[in-house]
A and B are shown apart, each in its own frame.
Chain A
Amino acid sequence: MLDVLDRLQLDWTDLERVTAINDKLLHELAADKQALACLLDRAAEEEHLFAQCERHRLLDKLVIYDGSDRGFRIRVHLSTNDHLDRPHDHRFSFSSLILAGGYRHVRHRLVGELDTDLAPEAMEDHQAVGSGLQVEPQFATEESVGSFYTIHHSAIHTTVMADNTVSLFIRGPAEKDRSLIIDRASGQLWWRYGAEQETPERRERKQMDRGHFELLKHRLSALGVI
């Protein structure tokens, strides 16, 4: 599996084509539990991978392969026990395969004019500012184990996850310096930036420690993912 990843180069300008490649790749990787376990072990050992593993309010992210120089990065996502409805876009397009759990997945239309100059310093939910924006849910589905999809970075969506939801996730290169998050009820907005633009305090808060990484590996094993 590592040989395949080491040779892989992805062009995300053709979303149809990259979806077909990612579909096959993620399904093969999910089926090869030994390879997945090896990649997780490697992520714990190699500092440049471990440094990218992060804890967020809704999700823990384990970076298990970094092919950024060839247009992709592979992560394992585990839901936390906090589940909120927060429509957002991403800085990159991505494909996802659900390995455990499930979630309500909603694609929204943004109503109102997005002001990208609005409060660039708002990086946390407690710093959110009124945007006058609303969202209209236009598509909703119930994602379950085996669900696979690709999303363009500009699409606004919500994933309200069940406990112990696990996804295998492959992302493309960053297409912009930030993405947005909206509180659905109030329309308040804040931004997500890439690591290089975040404050040292926020970086430190997000950084995963080794104890938590091991805990997550045990959870993945108990869930039959590895």
Chain B
Amino acid sequence: MSSTRTTARDQLASALEPVLAQLAAPPIWDDADELIEAALPALQAICATPATFRCALEGVEDGSLPLIASDRGVHWVHLADDAELGVSVDLRFSPVGGVSAPHAHPHARAMQLLHGGYKQTLVGVGGGVASPPDEIPLYIRHEPTGQLFALTAEQRHASSSTVGALLLALQPYEAHVAAGDCRPGNRLRLARKLMRALASGRLLD
């Protein structure tokens, strides 16, 4: 007999399908200005969808949502995607004290900081008058809870967080496809951390 049990992943997919459909066209990933323009209403609508964070937490606990362990204690939870639009919706969880040296990502991202905060430094060659020829810190930012931003795959940056950070990300579909899942023990630990972050940010109300 086949199972008809609906997982948190299924519920999330149903809840976010109409939200992602509002994008109407694939985002332009190599133009941060265009990307934030397209992603901003989508990220806000995802946050405003009541099922999003409850299902995210349940999906981490019941194992139905892919959970990927990255470098330096960072975890990604894959919430939903739309292959036709070429988008993936993910949660990124950074631990307290996380520090990363300057780096670029393989894919562009639009993100909203749901809980916590961190310092972000964009590095590169400025390009203006009397621009030093080598990479330097160009733009030092303090990202507070609620901040929205988009960066292309070319933009190198460094970050550090003394309080940890939970971010909602909209990124290209292929960003999550290549990633693998992580061990069951890590799921439970992350579920506890996620619960604390979501509750502190009043995202489960």
Interface residues of A (CB under 8 A from B): 15-16, 19, 23, 88-91, 104, 106-110, 114, 116, 136-142, 144, 146-157, 175-176, 178-180
Cβ-defined partner of B139 (8 Å) among A23, A114, A150:
A150
B-side contacts of A175, CB under 8 Å? 130
Interface string of B130-161 (1 = CB under 8 A from A): 11100011111110101111111011010000
B27 → chain A closest CB, angstroms: 12
B180 CB-CB contact with A under 8 Å: no
Asked if B132 and A107 sit within 8 Å, CB to CB, the answer is: no
Interface residues of B (CB under 8 A from A): 30-36, 40, 121-122, 124-132, 136-142, 144, 146-152, 154-155, 157
Asked if B34 and A156 sit within 8 Å, CB to CB, the answer is: no
Cβ-defined partner of A140 (8 Å) among B36, B124, B138:
B36
Asked if B142 and A137 sit within 8 Å, CB to CB, the answer is: no
Asked if B148 and A139 sit within 8 Å, CB to CB, the answer is: no
Closest 6 CB pairs of A and B: A89-B128, A154-B126, A110-B127, A154-B131, A141-B149, A137-B33
Q: Do A114 and B127 form a contact, CB below 8 Å, given A137-B32, A137-B33?
A: yes
18 A-B pairs whose Cβ atoms sit less than 8 Å apart in the complex:
A15-B136, A89-B126, A106-B32, A110-B127, A138-B124, A139-B150, A139-B155, A139-B157, A140-B151, A142-B147, A147-B147, A150-B139, A153-B128, A154-B129, A155-B139, A157-B139, A178-B129, A180-B129
Q: Which of A136, A140, A157, A180 has the most CB of B within 10 A?
A: A140
A88-B128 Cα distance, complex, nearest whole Å: 8
A107-B155 Cα distance, complex, nearest whole Å: 10
B122 → chain A closest CB, angstroms: 6
Cβ-defined partner of B149 (8 Å) among A90, A116, A139:
A139
A149-B152 Cα distance, complex, nearest whole Å: 20
A-side contacts of B130, CB under 8 Å? 153-154, 175-176
Asked if A109 and B127 sit within 8 Å, CB to CB, the answer is: yes
Q: Do A155 and B129 form a contact, CB below 8 Å, given A15-B140, A136-B31?
A: no
Q: Do A156 and B140 form a contact, CB below 8 Å, given A138-B155, A140-B33, A142-B40?
A: no
B-side contacts of A109, CB under 8 Å? 124, 127, 154
A103 → chain B closest CB, angstroms: 12
Asked if A15 and B137 sit within 8 Å, CB to CB, the answer is: yes
Asked if B33 and A104 sit within 8 Å, CB to CB, the answer is: yes
A-side contacts of B125, CB under 8 Å? 154
A23 → chain B closest CB, angstroms: 7
Cβ-defined partner of A110 (8 Å) among B34, B128, B139, B147:
B128
Q: Which residue of A lies closest to B28 (CB)?
A: A137
Cβ-defined partner of A139 (8 Å) among B122, B136, B142:
B122
B-side contacts of A150, CB under 8 Å? 139-140
Cβ-defined partner of B138 (8 Å) among A19, A91, A146, A154:
A154
Q: Do A19 and B122 form a contact, CB below 8 Å, given A137-B34, A138-B32?
A: no
